[in-house]
Amino acid sequence: MNEAKKHMIENNAQVVLRNICFSYDDGKTWTLNNLSLTINAGERLAIVGLNGSGKSTLAKIIAGLTAPDSGYVTLCGEKVFENTTACAESYKNARKYIGALFQSPEDQIVTTVTEDDVAFGLENLQFPRKTMYKRISEALKTVHMEDKRYADPSTMSGGQQQRVALASAIAMNSKLLVLDEPTSMLDSFARKDVDALFDNLHKNGTTIVQITHNFEECKRANRILLLENGILKEVSFNGLKTYFSNIELANNHVTKISKNKNLTDSRFKENESDIAVEISGLTVKYDKTSPAVIDDYSLTVKSGETVAIMGENGCGKSTLAKTMCGLLKANSGNIKVHGISVRGKTSKIIRQKLHQTIGYVMQLPEQQLFADTVRNDVAYGPKNFGLKDSALKERVDETLRLLNLENLAEKSPFALSGGQQRLVAIAGVLACKPRVLVLDEPTAGLDFEAALRIREILGTLHNQGVTIILITHNLQEAEDLGARLVTLKASNTAKNTENNKNKESSTKAKTTSLLQSFDPRATLLSCF
């Protein structure tokens, strides 16, 4: 392509990146290496790659939230970066037209009144009051939040906060949306609603750049771009499947492991009375005036069993998991884990015994990471439980190898990608070797290979007799692990469902309200 034609294309483009380099360690390694990309107005791109490949970094550069170390960047007609110099005024102008979807809504709510939050960007751009009022009304109606116009978003659920942030971006009429795994933690109904919303925005001319690990979302894109070793290359959908062809092979291996349950089944017959978790009449409220999130709920999990808890976003799955592990106080009812009472006052010795018995991988992995290195983070639990010296080192090394984290051992967990952080959080819990393992959507945000590695590990732990309680929106994941399904209803009642009814439950009519189906973790931030 000659230079004249190249410049003509770039002049009509929404995003132009040329020779972009970005490093987190002063150039020792390059997350993005001489990367170039042109995105035309109205395009829809899917960007894929392994965890830690630099997808989120690239998304932040495209959204105007991060500047590279070197290169050339034009966003929405504004030259914001050239060589090694950023232009603050140009970035400010470009951000008027850019929205970015990320996964922490609580970090992106800026006021205590919904209307003010949606108006925040418009006020900064000095829109007339009449125009602002109209846009706010239309945006809140679009996300089914008009009845919360004067409510405090800081006290809302994550899903409601997400809608407020989404309304803020809609009110701004963003030309470019940058979406970083916006559906990775949504239930199947919510995912369809969100995909339909993005389809409609794209149909109306919005340029969409979506970071994803989901093959179906890749199908919706005009172009699929694979980020590998800091370099971006375009691939076809068939080419993408070929690239990840080893995943299908790994999946077959996982299935074989999960179905090899002779040891487990015989153990059940010998120890039918051995109960791992017993919940009876559990009620949980977040405050005295609010309705119960969990209401008079009971569940029994046998020792060595794998149970998958499923249900729409906001039905109380994470609340149940936290209460089960002693992280939330129940209002009434009883919980026992291998005979240890979780409720009520207990001695320090009993609490330590409980923590040694049950391990919990949180919904947001960064909430349970705190050490200066990955190695120290993984070592923290076993060390507190009395493991020392060579035995401690051997346990940590074994766990790091299990999750393919050896090369990250001396890095800060806060310098890792979201997917890598999730693996470190899982490693920290597995290193304690709990008898009961509770995981809240452990494969959300993981690339294809890492997700299957987690399934394989869970299958192996199951065959070793570990009790697994898994919160997931992925029916295939539950079936691969041979799990018993427990469907938690939004009405705060639970229904145990036999495996032969799994598919029936997955195809029930979806809730009509978009509000009830959004996930608490993904959010749309209007950039201005």
**CB-based burial label for 93 (10 Å; 0-12, 13-18, 19+):** middle
d(CA 220, CA 215): 9
Using a cut of 0.75, tell me whether the model's pTM lies above it. no
Please tell me whether residues 241 and 282 are part of one structural domain: no
Please tell me whether residues 165 and 305 are part of one structural domain: no
Convert 497-512 to b/e letters by CB count within 10 Å (16 or more is b).
beeeebeeebeeebbe
Domain membership flag for residue 512: no
Contact yes or no for 516/162 (Cβ under 8 A): no
Please tell me whether residues 227 and 283 are part of one structural domain: no
Which two tokens mark 469?
Answer: 């309680």
**Rounded to a whole number, what is the largest CA-CA distance in the chain?**
78
CATH code where residue 329 lies: 3.40.50.300
Consecutive 10-residue averages of pLDDT for the chain (528 residues): 53 90 91 94 93 90 95 96 94 89 72 92 88 92 84 71 76 87 72 81 92 87 92 88 61 42 38 80 85 91 94 84 90 92 78 89 82 95 91 94 92 86 90 94 81 86 92 87 87 44 39 34 32
Domain membership flag for residue 118: yes
SS (H, E, C) 214-230: CHHHHHCCCEEEEEECC
Please tell me whether residues 31 and 79 are part of one structural domain: yes
By residue range, what is the domain housing residue 202?
A: 13-247
Cβ atoms < 10 Å from Cβ of 114: 27
Please tell me whether residues 222 and 287 are part of one structural domain: no
Please tell me whether residues 104 and 199 are part of one structural domain: yes
Please tell me whether residues 213 and 332 are part of one structural domain: no
Domain membership flag for residue 508: no
Strand partners, 468: 306, 437
- How far are the Cα atoms of 92, 164, 236, 420, 476 from residue 161, in angstroms, in the given order? 25, 5, 36, 26, 29
Residue 452: helix, strand or coil by DSSP? helix
Please tell me whether residues 279 and 177 are part of one structural domain: no
Contact yes or no for 148/166 (Cβ under 8 A): no
Strand partners, 437: 359, 468
Domain membership flag for residue 264: no
Domain membership flag for residue 524: no
Q: How far is CA 60 from the centre of its chain?
A: 17
- How far are the Cα atoms of 179, 183, 297, 453, 476 from residue 246, in angstroms, in the given order? 27, 24, 42, 12, 18
Which two tokens mark 32?
Answer: 């993005």
Sign of the C-alpha dihedral, residues 459, 461, 466, 471? negative
Domain membership flag for residue 53: yes
- The total of structural domains in the chain comes to 2
Please tell me whether residues 41 and 190 are part of one structural domain: yes
Contact yes or no for 278/335 (Cβ under 8 A): yes
Domain boundary residue, one of 228, 247, 266: 247
Which two tokens mark 45?
Answer: 């791109």
Please tell me whether residues 237 and 295 are part of one structural domain: no
Please tell me whether residues 398 and 449 are part of one structural domain: yes
Contact yes or no for 218/240 (Cβ under 8 A): yes
Where residue 367 falls (left for φ over 0; alpha for ψ -120 to 50; beta otherwise) is: alpha
Cβ atoms < 10 Å from Cβ of 419: 24
Confidence at residue 449, expressed as pLDDT on a 0 to 100 scale: 78
Domain membership flag for residue 368: yes
Domain membership flag for residue 3: no
Please, how many CA atoms are within 13 Å of residue 319, restricted to the half-sphere of its CB? 24
Which two tokens mark 427?
Answer: 């490693």
DSSP 171-197: HTT-SEEEEESTTTT--HHHHHHHHHH
Please tell me whether residues 350 and 452 are part of one structural domain: yes
